[in-house]
Amino acid sequence: MERDDAGSLVPRRSVLLGAGVATGALLLAGSEVSPSVAAASGGTKRITLYAERLPGDLIGYGLAPGKASVPGPTIELTEGQKAEVTLVNTTDQTISLYAHGVDFDMASDGTPLNNGTVAPGQQRTYTWRTHAPYRRRDGSWDGGSAGYWHYHDHAMGTQFGTDGIAKGLYGALVVRRRGDLRPDKQFVVVMNNGSLNNTYWPNSPTYEARLGERVEWIAIGHGFQVHTFHLHGHRWSDTRTGYATNPSTPVIDTKTLLPGVSYGFQVRAGEHVGPGAWMYHCHVQLHADAGMVGLFLVKNADGSMPPGMEKHVEHMKTMSVTPMPGMPSSMGHGH
């Protein structure tokens, strides 16, 4: 049995994967593969997320009581894997958990309209499924679940979780394809209204890596503005992973992040440019001027700091910014 495009079960003959398709364990020459087989092969990951209030009028998700953060923990799955995510709501507000990019029944559509919320003091388990690419009966391809996705509240304040997201209820969700390169370091940058992870320069995150390390950036847009994520000194391929498997793929160094859009890529730290204090920032000038700036500190390969770098970073952090007028205090200015 096989799910057709509309999600209903239909009898089918077989699905032959093309020889050039990298689906790892699923690539068995001449074998029949269906999404249900793919889903069954990956096992289940069980996660508990605790939603908690944080200082500065923030709310975060965390993997244990007292461990909430903004953004919440990055959840990683491999195509074929299932996640059972239990949300424990320790706040005094009704909240939820809604995921982008993965497969779920209506019962796990974490929205008020589908009765998918969690009242204060309650908990609820959401089930997310993923699948590997496969060829549909009509010859077209389902591209699988792999991608740089994200999860967030979809209940607090409004039907769309506008207040929950504004206060920090969001995080990254990475679905890998078997065979994908694994990063040494992973950084999540959420451009949430005028903030980076609800912080502002000079309190925005400083991310560190050693020269040559494979660094994965996950950039997510939230709120009501247009942002453009730009990283100094580095460029990457405009593909699902940020690296290319052939030399003709476009190379970029800036990506547009409209609200709800998530994007990820991998770079080698300092490749072609060496160690340094490289800025990442929103390239909407008004936003950069207002403090949507952070640092990517690339150290020497042995982990030492290049001479003078520490002092230079101190100097950089004295750069003054002009907060945008009208930013709500809940966005964390001054923290």
H/E element holding 40?
Answer: helix 35-40
Q: Which lies closer to Cu ion via its Cβ, residue 34 or residue 256?
A: 256
H/E element holding 163?
Answer: helix 162-166
Place of tokens 């790892």: 24
Could you give the count of Cα atoms lying within 13 Å of 114 in the half-sphere of its Cβ?
15
Q: Which lies closer to Cu ion via its Cβ, residue 95 or residue 282?
A: 282
Under rule CB under 5 A, residue 172 binds Cu ion: no
Q: How far is the CB of 289 from Cu ion (least distance, A)?
A: 10
Q: Which lies closer to Cu ion via its Cβ, residue 176 or residue 227?
A: 227
Under rule CB under 5 A, residue 95 binds Cu ion: no
Q: Which lies closer to Cu ion via its Cβ, residue 38 or residue 284?
A: 284
Q: Which lies closer to Cu ion via its Cβ, residue 17 or residue 282?
A: 282
| CA gap 323, 4 in Å, rounded | 51
Closest-CA residue to 116 (of 88, 129, 97): 97
Q: Which of residues 208-227 bind Cu ion (CB under 5 A)?
A: 227
Q: How far is the CB of 207 from Cu ion (least distance, A)?
A: 18
Compute the CA torsion angle 77, 129, 95, 125 (nearest 10 deg).
-100
Cβ atoms < 10 Å from Cβ of 115: 10
Q: How far is the CB of 257 from Cu ion (least distance, A)?
A: 8
Under rule CB under 5 A, residue 287 binds Cu ion: yes
Q: How far is the CB of 332 from Cu ion (least distance, A)?
A: 15
Under rule CB under 5 A, residue 189 binds Cu ion: no
Q: Which lies closer to Cu ion via its Cβ, residue 9 or residue 258?
A: 258
> Residue 2: beta bridge partners?
10
Under rule CB under 5 A, residue 230 binds Cu ion: no
Stretch that binds Cu ion, among 68-76, 86-94, 178-186, 286-294 (CB under 5 A): 286-294
Stretch that binds Cu ion, among 58-66, 119-127, 139-147, 275-283 (CB under 5 A): 275-283
Under rule CB under 5 A, residue 282 binds Cu ion: yes
| CA gap 195, 181 in Å, rounded | 30
Cβ atoms < 10 Å from Cβ of 232: 14
DSSP result, 278-310: EEEEE-SHHHHHTT-EEEEEEE-TTSPPPTTHH
Phi, psi at 142, each rounded to 5°: -85, 125
Q: Which lies closer to Cu ion via its Cβ, residue 40 or residue 286?
A: 286
Count residues binding Cu ion (CB under 5 A): 4
Per CB under 5 A, the list member of 188, 284, 290, 297 interacting with Cu ion is 284
Instruction: Please report, as ranges, the residues that interact with Cu ion according to CB under 5 A.
Output: 227, 282, 284, 287
